[in-house]
Chain A
Amino acid sequence: MKNTLRNVFHSPRFLVGFIIFMVMVLTVLIYPWFVRRDPLVSLGKGFLEPGTYVSVYDANNTGTYRVELPEAAEKRLEATLPTEDRQTMIDYLKAMGVDVSGLDTSNEKMEDLLAAWNANYDEADAKKNKYEGFATQAKRNALRRIDNKIKGSNNDVAMSVVRGEGDDATVTTVEGSDYVKVNEVANSVTLPLGTDNFGRDTLTELVKATGVSLIIGLIAGTIATLLGLLVGLLAGYLGGIVDDILMFIANIFTVIPGFVLLILIYYSVGQEARGVTTCAIVIGVTSWVWTARSVRSQVISLRNRDHVNLSKLSGHSLFRIVTTDILPYIASYVVMAFILQVSSGILAEAQLSLLGLGPKTTDVPTLGLMMNWAKLFGAYTSSNAWWAYFPVILVIALTSFSLNLMNTGLDQVFNPTLRD
């Protein structure tokens, strides 16, 4: 036993898979200690991009620090001067007869554009001459607004903030070089993966969902493996009529695709009863067949071995023969089958949920439910919110990848022909 374990952990594939898997399990276990937020609490409205969000309201009450960043004005302009304004500037310069061949609306050309603008724009001139395309008053007002914006950012014009109403109103001025410390803002939140359609923190939700999906996989895998083992052992060892009946049931389960059976059973359970546990149990009950078949064929090849016959002659009970003379020989296979069952259980849940047959629960998220929400609320088409579905796909892929790696690692240890 000790030796086998050492062998197993010397297999690089198994080790890598094991480490990835354990990192995920540990994240699921440790993360809630640091972020105590309920994973399903709604923080905002709709998809918010990943980033740190600072309360504007509270930012005004914190201490003010003067920081002179050399590129601050430039950055501010880049952020406040939209592409349409830049296009208007270029159009106006063109109408004035300035050479605009080197200018465009990109951030890289910002400096050139500003230089050209400051050299050529003149308010008095703009009032007097009605250049082509800029004949109306509204158009010229727009030009003045743009110019003010540019001057404002360069000359550090203070902004007034009025708080309260009437006599109680206080006015504070905020200058371009005023800064607040993020730590001092009472309410700020970092959302590394943004929020989903319900405004819930995607990362916290994802960690919780990974945990729930792993539990579903483990329950489904355990049920499928135990059922398969039991059926396979009984059918293989007892043979005869028991074998015929059990294999008849297994045949039906093989021929009717597991997925169809899953949909049918799942559907007949009804929406209300579909919790996480039900989901796991149904997946487990529909996926034991392959394990049962392989266990059976291995038991058949084992049951006439000499040591089994000796046990029989010694009058040992059926239970003892099975546990001491047969199980140890198929243990490695059962472990591998279990790993695969866990992996396919997680996938099955995800597919079911994607079809809208997932656990009907508002208490916990699962990986499949997150995919389903992303699909229903247009995360990949209209909103283009990659953070709401891509990390989920990645987690599912990583889970099955790590489990498959562990499985091939074990395979190499136990089936030396596959070894290098």
Chain B
Amino acid sequence: MILPEAGHGRFSVERGHSTMTKGMRKYFKKKIFWFVITLIAAVILNFILPRLMPGDPVNAIVGKNISPNATQEQIQEQIAFYKHQFGLDKDLFGQFWDFIKNVFNGTFGVSYSQYPRTVADIIGGGIWWTIALQLPAILVGWLLGNLLGALAAYKRSFYDKALMPVSLFFSAIPAFGAAVILLVVFAVNLKWAPVNGAYTTGMIPSFSWNFISSVIAHYQLPFWSIVIISIGGQAVGMRSMSIYELNADYVKYARFLGIKDKKIVRYVFRNAMLPQVTGLAMSIGAMVGGALVAETIFSYPGLGMSMYNAITTSDYPVISATTLIITIMVLLASFLLDIIYAFIDPRVKAAQFD
């Protein structure tokens, strides 16, 4: 399949089938063990860290909702009521047990700032917007970036002299900077696209042409801001990976053998792609976190925006839930990646025999 590792393939055939499955089982067991351990650590961290925050969130809610001429008793009563509602009258272990129960029954508890909405309700409203925005943007950016990077590595003379410093500068522009510049140029000044939101305010989501066209118009700027940013990073990474592979010994050997350049290039880029696949999987895993910047700047109603609102209103059940979702997605992505690698990368396959 891949040129330099051709030897390993033969090796595994000679060793026979049983050794491989044994090695594989051990490998998977190890991976699953780590997956579970880190998951537990992540859940505990997600639970504990926000609760270390000084200040009582209940006081803030009561202070906001209660009438100004309420008596001291009424205030105390309200505080006790909310504390009971949020389960804050229990000790830390009781709270942790509630937290776990809420995670498993899928409600994630009750939001503090939007009481009595459940966290699951808030998150459910945002997650589809985030996925619909991020997934295509990440894929498009990844494809374009890798194409450019591979081209740049192959046609080095022109690119390195002229385009490399330019692209280095553009990839140095922070994500929020690019989003702001797009917003100002295309939405505020040229008025080609709307300034914020996912559809015109006041519209009711439906399958009408009006609604869909409004959604498409609002989609453009956040989408391209993510694509532009990922193109830069991917291109720079792909370029250096390809250059590294182009200088590898197996390429020189293949050239000595007189294998056609076209064929060598195919092998080279296939090898250079491997780390890029990792990058793709990790950025899909980190989707929600990555959405934070674009969504807050364009006020896109996705999960990133829910998280931003939760941060500004000290709504820590929502913060816990969103960070937990991000963590689990990243964990799952890296876990699946390990499993997939065991099948596609012969080097990992070989390592299982250790």
Q: Is the CB of A267 within 8 A of B50?
A: yes
A256 to B34, CA, bound (A): 13
Expressed in whole angstroms, the minimum distance between the Cβ of A21 and any Cβ of chain B is 12
Expressed in whole angstroms, the minimum distance between the Cβ of A366 and any Cβ of chain B is 14
| Chain B residues with CB under 8 A of A248 | 37
Q: Which of B51, B293, B327 contacts A354 (CB 8 A)?
A: B293
Expressed in whole angstroms, the minimum distance between the Cβ of A194 and any Cβ of chain B is 16
Expressed in whole angstroms, the minimum distance between the Cβ of B234 and any Cβ of chain A is 15
Q: A255-B330, A265-B49 are in contact. Are A397 and B319 (CB under 8 A)?
A: no
Number of B residues contacting the other chain (C-beta, 8 Å)? 54
A71 CB-CB contact with B under 8 Å = no
Q: A252-B42, A397-B169 are in contact. Are A257 and B311 (CB under 8 A)?
A: no
Q: Is the CB of B183 within 8 A of A255?
A: no
Q: Is the CB of B174 within 8 A of A355?
A: no
Q: A255-B327, A257-B286, A380-B183 are in contact. Are A356 and B312 (CB under 8 A)?
A: yes
A-side interface mostly: helix
Q: Is the CB of B46 within 8 A of A397?
A: no
Q: Which of B54, B183, B312 contacts A272 (CB 8 A)?
A: B54
Q: Is the CB of A270 within 8 A of B53?
A: yes
B224 CB-CB contact with A under 8 Å = no
Residue of chain A at shortest CB distance from B323: A260
A351 to B289, CA, bound (A): 11
Residue of chain A at shortest CB distance from B325: A260
Q: Is the CB of A256 within 8 A of B327?
A: yes
Which stretch of B69-77, B94-102, B239-247 is in the interface?
A: B239-247
Residue of chain A at shortest CB distance from B42: A256
A357 CB-CB contact with B under 8 Å = yes
A59 to B316, CA, bound (A): 57
A417 to B50, CA, bound (A): 47
Q: A263-B319, A381-B195 are in contact. Are A401 and B169 (CB under 8 A)?
A: yes
B297 CB-CB contact with A under 8 Å = yes
| Chain A residues with CB under 8 A of B237 | none
Number of A residues contacting the other chain (C-beta, 8 Å)? 46
Q: A255-B38, A393-B173, A418-B244 are in contact. Are A267 and B49 (CB under 8 A)?
A: yes
User: What mask results when residues 28 to 46 of chain B are scored 1 for a CB within 8 Å of chain A, else 0?
Assistant: 0000001001100110011
A263 to B180, CA, bound (A): 22
Expressed in whole angstroms, the minimum distance between the Cβ of B250 and any Cβ of chain A is 14
| Chain A residues with CB under 8 A of B16 | none
Expressed in whole angstroms, the minimum distance between the Cβ of B155 and any Cβ of chain A is 14
A404 CB-CB contact with B under 8 Å = yes
| Chain A residues with CB under 8 A of B292 | 259, 351, 355
| Chain A residues with CB under 8 A of B54 | 270, 272-273
Q: Which of B51, B174, B184, B188 contacts A396 (CB 8 A)?
A: B174
Expressed in whole angstroms, the minimum distance between the Cβ of B202 and any Cβ of chain A is 19
Q: Which of B169, B177, B183, B308 contacts A355 (CB 8 A)?
A: B308
B181 CB-CB contact with A under 8 Å = yes
A193 to B146, CA, bound (A): 39
Cβ < 8 Å to B, chain A residues 44-68: none
User: What mask results when residues 318 to 339 of chain B are scored 1 for a CB within 8 Å of chain A, else 0?
Assistant: 0100010011001100100000
B5 CB-CB contact with A under 8 Å = no
A119 CB-CB contact with B under 8 Å = no
Q: A255-B331, A263-B323, A393-B173 are in contact. Are A354 and B296 (CB under 8 A)?
A: yes
A409 to B169, CA, bound (A): 14
Expressed in whole angstroms, the minimum distance between the Cβ of A127 and any Cβ of chain B is 44
Cβ < 8 Å to A, chain B residues 229-287: 240, 243-244, 247, 286
Q: Is the CB of A263 within 8 A of B243?
A: no
Residue of chain B at shortest CB distance from A386: B184
| Chain B residues with CB under 8 A of A386 | 184
Q: A265-B49, A351-B293 are in contact. Are A418 and B240 (CB under 8 A)?
A: yes
Cβ < 8 Å to A, chain B residues 327-354: 327, 330-331, 334
A357 to B293, CA, bound (A): 13
Q: Which of B51, B188, B247, B326 contacts A260 (CB 8 A)?
A: B326
Q: A255-B331, A357-B311 are in contact. Are A268 and B53 (CB under 8 A)?
A: yes
B129 CB-CB contact with A under 8 Å = no
A396 to B178, CA, bound (A): 12
Expressed in whole angstroms, the minimum distance between the Cβ of B128 and any Cβ of chain A is 21
Q: Is the CB of A393 within 8 A of B50?
A: no
Residue of chain B at shortest CB distance from A356: B312
User: What mask results when residues 220 to 261 of chain A are scored 1 for a CB within 8 Å of chain B, else 0?
Assistant: 000000000000000000000000000010011001110111
| Chain B residues with CB under 8 A of A398 | 172
B116 CB-CB contact with A under 8 Å = no
Q: Is the CB of A389 within 8 A of B323?
A: no
| Chain A residues with CB under 8 A of B168 | 401, 404-405, 408
| Chain B residues with CB under 8 A of A13 | 165
B6 CB-CB contact with A under 8 Å = no
Q: Is the CB of A380 within 8 A of B180?
A: yes
Q: Is the CB of A354 within 8 A of B53?
A: no
Expressed in whole angstroms, the minimum distance between the Cβ of B304 and any Cβ of chain A is 10
Q: A263-B319, A347-B174 are in contact. Are A355 and B160 (CB under 8 A)?
A: no
| Chain A residues with CB under 8 A of B45 | 252, 256, 261, 264
| Chain B residues with CB under 8 A of A397 | 169, 172-174, 177
User: What mask results when residues 171 to 202 of chain B are scored 1 for a CB within 8 Å of chain A, else 0?
Assistant: 11111110011011000110000010000000
Residue of chain B at shortest CB distance from A389: B180
Residue of chain B at shortest CB distance from A343: B172
Q: Is the CB of A267 within 8 A of B319?
A: yes
Residue positions of A touching B, CB distance < 8 A: 13, 16, 248, 251-252, 255-257, 259-261, 263-265, 267-268, 270, 272-273, 347, 350-351, 354-357, 371, 375, 380-381, 384, 386, 389-390, 393, 396-398, 400-401, 404-405, 408, 417-418, 420
Q: Could you give 9 example pairs across A and B, Cβ below 8 Å? A: A16-B165, A263-B319, A264-B323, A267-B319, A268-B51, A355-B292, A380-B183, A396-B173, A418-B243
Which 4 pairs between the two chains have the least Cβ-Cβ distance? A393-B177, A268-B52, A401-B172, A264-B49
Residue positions of B touching A, CB distance < 8 A: 34, 37-38, 41-42, 45-46, 49-55, 156, 160, 165, 168-169, 171-177, 180-181, 183-184, 188-189, 195, 240, 243-244, 247, 286, 289, 292-293, 296-297, 308, 311-312, 316, 319, 323, 326-327, 330-331, 334
